[in-house]
Amino acid sequence: MNNLKKFLNKRVGFMTMLIVFLWIKTIIAYYLDFKLGVADPIQHFILWINPFATSIFLLGLALYISRPKISYIVMGIIYVIESALLYGNILYYRQFTDFLSVNTITGAGKVSKGLGASAASMANPHDIIYIVDFIIILVLFLTHFIKIDQSKFRKLNALAISMFGIMLFSFNLMLAECNRPQLLGRTFDRSYIVKYLGFNSYLGYDSIKTAQNSQVRSSAVGTDMDHVLKYTSDNYAAPNKKYFGKAKGKNIIIIHLESFQQFLIGMKVNGQEVTPFLNSLYNDKNTLGFDNFYHEVGQGKTSDAETMLESGLFGLPEGSFFTSLGTDNTFQAAPAILGQKEGYTSAVFHGNIGSFWSRNDVYKNMGYDYFFDESYFNQETPNSAMQYGLKDKLMLSESVKYLEQLQQPFYAKFITVTNHYPFQLPEEDVTGDFTKPDTDNTTVNGYFETAHYLDSSLKEFFQYLKDSGIYDNSMIVLYGDHYGLSNSQNPALAPLLGASSEDWNDFDNAQLQKVPFMIHMKGLKGGIDHTYGGEIDVLPTILHLAGINTKSYIEMGTDLLSKQHNSIVAFRNKNFITPRYTVLRNADGDKDVYLNKTGELVDLTDKPKLKKKIQKWQQTVNERLQISDTVNNKNLLRFYTPSGFTPIDPKNYDYSDQIQRLLDTRSALGLKSTSIYSKNNDQSTTSLYHTDASELNGDRSSIDSWDYVKSNSQK
Ligand code: GP9
Ligand code: MN
């Protein structure tokens, strides 16, 4: 006891006590108040050590102050700030399932929600843990158990402590990067940074990002838009009369096929079709299927695909547009355009946490009326979710009780997730007698099984759409968001595609970036369309089908069905594909040009004309990407409002209590309600949904009833 007293009466001893208190509080909060999805023992270990580094560094700053009393006071202030940040985050998280960012703290962000008065009502009895330390410290001082250490503290020792903090942080960062590569580069979710690096680092990271963004933004002026407007008007592709307005007034259902590549379509393994349902849909006479359609995502993966499809602009060269700029930018996006021009109600269904990719904020800026995230689905069923959320069969089947309440026409997007890396489907979810391939690469093998599962989920969903009648009045659009198997896995995949692993090259990798794009609608003259295009072209294509001219919108792609469609496919790394050539930068920084038909490398030395053409194409690709980046980085759409468009105010959107809102809307409209439910004489159609999802064990309650929704599903 005496030794302890002696130690605590030293300046370092007092600091150590504060660090330990902070650590205990943080660890308790990590496990009790936050849902950080800590999976493996390494992640637990990282969680246990991450509060140390920054608190050692920050509290250690007070050691540089020579005057003892001031040094103690500064240390105390830092401790109070740290404790307040922790508790502030706890309250904020309880209300919004999210963490405090610079914008939310300062109230500067457009979607900033601040710590409202209601946050105080979020206090819990166990919160006593978070203040008991202050009482202990006070008592220790009042009883003179601890006194201020009057001896001098050497600056060199203070420096040593700062260095120790920095070293510990580097170690923490290294462990985090090993467990989650590109943690800071991709910024999937704020909770990942907190999980791996703690609150201080998250706030530090967020401050740097916010400062960078606001610097670029403040330099922007309205006339920056002139150049952009000239570009979009020069590159506008007029709609094709044959298709314009074909889907006018119909529901639009977008199905996001996670990690789904085009090569799966029509493919057989062990004599069995991998995706029999999608194959039949692809070849259906009412389907327009594209076989030269590429994903164009960067590091933002799913979120980049969403960016392109909703806003008509590319993702960013680094990181995810959604998380870095999407929470604050001004949008003129699909849900708002369809809502304002044609009266669509918009909704997203996704079985993951709403903060992933900052969707809960970005969707508001886009004008999405509803966002049904994991909190709207039953999460109690054992094994119902995998790494990135609820399994597709459950998500789709549990969605229809909300879908049937939406006013028609609706624009509804379903983001599937089971076919996501690492592609490990539990045995009980393997349908029929499908047997996966048996290569040496387990990722490759698993990919076919999860793709098969996704296919079977969609078959069930389509059957419901048909049986409920929704099908007859809807245009259904399906697309693969990006590759599932990466370039490093492709050589292992090669033999299954009838190619050789040894000869596999960059051209082959580029071709594997093809993803499905299908438009299915009763009465649509279908067929396989060989037009070259990519995700950036989807928005103008869909809007034209819906009968909305895109001329006044800032969109970087062109309608795939237009005769003036631009068929140069630009990748985010500036590589590109034309209907004849694939142009890729090689490891030496030179361009390799391949002939699409044969895959042969073209020697340009005696082809000056082609060389010139390629240079010109490259310029147009660079310009397109650069214009998109300028619009996004400078947030230029705030300076431009297309005629007849009303800017979106995210404050008008709220994804809490959506069930009540559905019911209120229905009763307010009375006989004018156009929802499927109302059209079905106020009868639910959920009983028409049939799924063989093994997790349900025949229990349909989560499909048919709303009881499972967390009553406080608030964001
Ligand atoms: C998660 C999901 C996956 O919610 O959309 O995103 P990804 O890892 O494919 O970018
Ligand atoms: Mn994805």
Residue 497 has pLDDT above 90, yes or no: yes
**Protein residue with least CA distance to atom 5, ligand 1:** 302
Ligand 2 centroid distance, CA of 351 (Å): 13
Same domain, 309 and 212: no
Residue 713 has pLDDT above 60, yes or no: no
Residue 400 resides in a domain: yes
Instruction: Pick from 297, 306, 372, 417 the residue to mutate for probing ligand 1's pocket: most ligand atoms within 8 Å of its CB.
Output: 417
Q: What was the pLDDT predicted at 142?
A: 95
Residue 575 resides in a domain: no
What is the DSSP secondary structure assignment for residue 364, as one 8-state letter?
H
Residue 627 resides in a domain: no
Same domain, 250 and 213: no
Give yes or no for a contact between 71 and 62, defined as CB atoms under 8 angstroms apart.
Answer: yes
* Contacts by residues 153-161 (CB-CB < 8 Å, ≥ 24 positions apart): 153/11, 153/12, 153/63, 153/66, 153/71, 155/64, 157/12, 157/63, 158/60, 158/63, 158/64, 161/12, 161/56, 161/60, 161/63
Same domain, 26 and 158: yes
Ligand 2 centroid distance, CA of 584 (Å): 23
Instruction: Pick from 180, 187, 188, 483 the residue to mutate for probing ligand 1's pocket: most ligand atoms within 8 Å of its CB.
Output: 188
pLDDT band, very low/low/confident/very high, at 115 (cuts 50, 70, 90):
very low
d(CA 82, CA 61) in angstroms, rounded, equals 14
Same domain, 257 and 319: yes
Ligand nearest the Cα of residue 258 is: 2
Q: What was the pLDDT predicted at 93?
A: 83
Picking from 600, 627, 651, the residue at the C-terminal end of a domain is 651
CB-neighbour burial class of residue 176 (10 A; exposed 0-12, middle 13-18, buried 19+): buried
Q: What angle do CA 213, 82, 362 make, to 5 degrees?
A: 35
Q: What was the pLDDT predicted at 137?
A: 96
Q: Which residues form the catalytic set?
A: 302
Question: What angle, rounded to 10 degrees, do the helices at 608-633 and 224-234 form?
Answer: 130
**What pTM was computed for the model?**
0.84
Asked if residue 355 has its Cβ within 6 Å of ligand 1, the reply is no
CA of 350, closest atom in ligand 1 = 4
Same domain, 76 and 136: yes
Token digits for 567? Answer: 């068929």
Picking from 595, 628, 651, the residue at the C-terminal end of a domain is 651
Instruction: Read off the pLDDT of residues 250-287 as tens digits, 9 standing for 90 and up.
Output: 999 999 999 999 999 999 999 999 999 999 999 999 99
Instruction: Read off the pLDDT of residues 456-472 as tens digits, 9 standing for 90 and up.
Output: 999 999 999 999 999 99
d(CA 631, CA 457) in angstroms, rounded, equals 38
User: For residue 616, what is the enclosing H or E element?
Assistant: helix 608-633
Mean pLDDT on 672-697? 97
Instruction: Pick from 180, 192, 258, 373 the residue to mutate for probing ligand 1's pocket: most ligand atoms within 8 Å of its CB.
Output: 258
CA of 352, closest atom in ligand 1 = 4
Same domain, 211 and 256: no
Starting at the edge strand that comes first in sequence, how are the strands of the sheet with 345-350 ordered? 370-372, 345-350, 410-415, 251-257, 474-480, 517-521, 287-294, 527-534
Picking from 619, 651, 683, the residue at the C-terminal end of a domain is 651
Ligand 1 centroid distance, CA of 388 (Å): 7
d(CA 599, CA 499) in angstroms, rounded, equals 12
Ligand 1 centroid distance, CA of 691 (Å): 24
pLDDT band, very low/low/confident/very high, at 711 (cuts 50, 70, 90):
very low
CA-based torsion, 326, 327, 329, 332: positive or negative: positive
Same domain, 395 and 468: yes
Domain count, the chain: 2
Same domain, 323 and 462: yes
CA of 300, closest atom in ligand 1 = 10
pLDDT band, very low/low/confident/very high, at 120 (cuts 50, 70, 90):
low
Q: What was the pLDDT predicted at 184?
A: 73
Residue 113 has pLDDT above 60, yes or no: no
Residue 223 resides in a domain: no
Beta strand 591-595 with 581-585 is antiparallel
d(CA 77, CA 685) in angstroms, rounded, equals 59
Ligand nearest the Cα of residue 386 is: 1
Asked if residue 301 has its Cβ within 6 Å of ligand 1, the reply is yes
Residue 491 resides in a domain: yes
Residue 174 resides in a domain: yes
Same domain, 288 and 193: no
Q: For the chain, how many residues are written?
A: 715
Ligand 1 centroid distance, CA of 417 (Å): 7
Asked if residue 417 has its Cβ within 6 Å of ligand 1, the reply is yes
Range of the domain at 391: 244-552+644-651
d(CA 440, CA 437) in angstroms, rounded, equals 9
**Protein residue with least CA distance to atom 4, ligand 1:** 352
Same domain, 465 and 357: yes
Residue 436 resides in a domain: yes
Ligand 2 centroid distance, CA of 417 (Å): 7
Domain CATH code at residue 464: 3.40.720.10
Same domain, 172 and 271: no
Same domain, 279 and 407: yes
Residue 448: name the closest of 271, 690, 305 by CA: 271
CA of 258, closest atom in ligand 1 = 9
d(CA 546, CA 339) in angstroms, rounded, equals 12
Residue 142 resides in a domain: yes
Asked if residue 386 has its Cβ within 6 Å of ligand 1, the reply is no
Q: What was the pLDDT predicted at 180?
A: 83
Token digits for 391? Answer: 């399994």
Question: DSSP string covering 2-59, please?
Answer: HHHHHHHTSHHHHHHHHHHHHHHHHHHHHHHT------SHHHHHHHHHHHHHHHHHHH
d(CA 321, CA 311) in angstroms, rounded, equals 11
CA-based torsion, 391, 394, 397, 402: positive or negative: negative
Give yes or no for a contact between 141 and 72, defined as CB atoms under 8 angstroms apart.
Answer: no
